Amino acid sequence: MELDFDLIFVIGLVIAAFAIPSLVSAFSDRRWPKLAVLMLLIGGGLIGYAVSQNPDTYSVAVIPDVFVRVVGSYIN
């Protein structure tokens, strides 16, 4: 089975994006953001793994293209 690094990259982006509201909520409630930090570590790890396997493939400019390609391949 071949790893789909685009899928790993997109999952990492989604997890990291969901961590941001959790982080803001924890800081506004003056509590330690345990779940947000865990989500950021997992998302960052997935993004870092995908980028380390394909260093020339991913940049900020191609994130929308990668996201649409992955979602489109799994919807179709």
Average pLDDT over residues 44-54: 95
Residue 67 has phi, psi (to 5 degrees) of: -60, -45
Nearest to 43 by CA among 67, 70, 71, 8: 8
Six-digit token string for 64: 């929308």
pLDDT at 14 over 60: yes
Report d(CA 1, CA 34) in Å as an integer: 34
The runs of H, that is alpha helices, within 1-76 are 5-28, 34-53, 63-75
Average pLDDT over residues 44-71: 92
**1 — pLDDT class (breaks 50, 70, 90):** very low
Query: Which residue range forms the structural domain that includes residue 57?
Result: 5-75
Six-digit token string for 20: 């941001």
Q: Name the domain count of the chain.
A: 1
pTM of the predicted structure, to 2 decimals: 0.88
Report d(CA 75, CA 61) in Å as an integer: 23
Quote the pLDDT of residue 76: 79
